[in-house]
């Protein structure tokens, strides 16, 4: 859906490719950065920071300047990768020894389920109410998810002074 959104904003195929390349660079930077942040300030904080950056990026898609969209996509990719290491560490550290495989699968399996109905729902909604409403609703859901993470996650990192 995102390439269609970019094309609707007037980008040609090359420019769409550039947006995805910038997002990939941001994602690559976010992986080690997220691991470091998770080790220094805590897994929970890193996961919440990750979700907040993704929400900020998606929320920026509502704004009209095209440059904001490029930066927003980079933020989405950065935020998504920021949380990967800390999420895995949090899962490993909090899951019982015999259940770690299942725990490690959950952050991949559960979000993948949304990939079944959401592209169709997004396509219908974007035509019915427009992209700003779709991205606005997505931002609200992401913010609720981040707030839920704040309430439901427990820090697993041990403090050694």
Q: Is residue 159 part of a domain?
A: no
Q: Is residue 157 part of a domain?
A: no
Taking alpha carbons only, the member of 78, 76, 87 closest to residue 47 is 87
User: Under 8 Å CB-to-CB from 2, ≥6 apart: which residues?
Assistant: 73
pLDDT at 111: 72
**What is the domain extent for residue 45?**
2-152
The DSSP secondary-structure symbol of 62 reads T
Q: Is residue 160 part of a domain?
A: no
Q: Which helix (H) or strand (E) holds 115?
A: none
pLDDT at 9: 85
Residue 24 maps to which CATH number?
1.20.1250.20
Q: Is residue 133 part of a domain?
A: yes
- The pLDDT averaged over each successive group of 10 residues in the chain (161 residues) is 86 91 93 90 87 90 79 90 83 80 75 82 90 88 81 67 44
């Amino acid at each position: 859906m995102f390439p269609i959104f970019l094309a609707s904003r007037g980008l040609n195929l090359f420019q769409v490719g550039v947006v995805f390349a910038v997002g990939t660079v941001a994602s690559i930077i976010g992986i080690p950065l997220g691991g470091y942040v998770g080790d220094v300030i805590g897994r929970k904080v890193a996961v919440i920071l990750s979700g907040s950056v993704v929400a900020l990026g998606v929320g920026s898609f509502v704004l009209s300047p095209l440059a904001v969209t490029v930066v927003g996509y980079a933020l989405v990719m950065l935020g998504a990768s920021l949380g990967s290491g800390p999420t895995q560490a949090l899962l490993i550290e909090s899951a019982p020894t015999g259940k770690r495989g299942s725990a490690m699968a959950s952050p991949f399996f559960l979000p993948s389920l949304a990939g079944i109905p959401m592209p169709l729902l997004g396509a219908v909604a974007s035509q019915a109410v427009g992209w700003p409403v779709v991205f606005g609703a997505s931002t609200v859901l992401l913010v609720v998810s981040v707030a839920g993470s704040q309430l439901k996650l427990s820090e697993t990192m041990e403090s050694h002074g």
